[in-house]
């Protein structure tokens, strides 16, 4: 995860991948989403905020976002704190 930006009731996340695979983004305050067959490079994925996420955004709080890259059968996961 390289950048994040709140746009209304959604969160725009920029991820950078080194290999082709599937990226799953999840966390408290967002609706989980899986983007399949992403090529190597930078991609933008939009996540919908839940009621909890919108409340956190209104108060400029942080949420924990998990990103998981699956390439063939190997999984790499990273957790980041995102300020809304």
Q: CA 74, CA 37: separation in Å to the nearest integer?
A: 14
Of 21, 26, 8, 43, nearest to 82 (Cα)?
A: 26
Per the CB < 8 A criterion, the answer to whether 31 and 46 are in contact is no
Distance CA 82, CA 28 (A): 11
Of 34, 68, 30, whose CA–CA distance to 50 is shortest?
30
Q: What is the pLDDT of residue 13?
A: 95
pLDDT tier at 56, thresholds 50, 70, 90:
very high
**pLDDT tens-place string over residues 8-51:** 899 999 999 999 999 999 999 999 999 999 999 999 999 999 99
């Amino acid at each position: 995860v390289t950048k994040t930006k709140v746009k209304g009731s959604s969160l725009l996340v920029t991820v950078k991948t080194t290999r082709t695979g599937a990226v799953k983004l999840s966390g408290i305050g967002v609706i989980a989403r899986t983007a399949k067959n992403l090529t190597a490079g930078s991609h933008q994925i939009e996540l919908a905020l839940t009621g909890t996420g919108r409340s956190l955004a209104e108060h400029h709080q942080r949420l924990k976002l998990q990103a998981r890259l699956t390439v063939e059968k190997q999984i790499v996961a990273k957790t980041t704190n995102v300020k809304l």
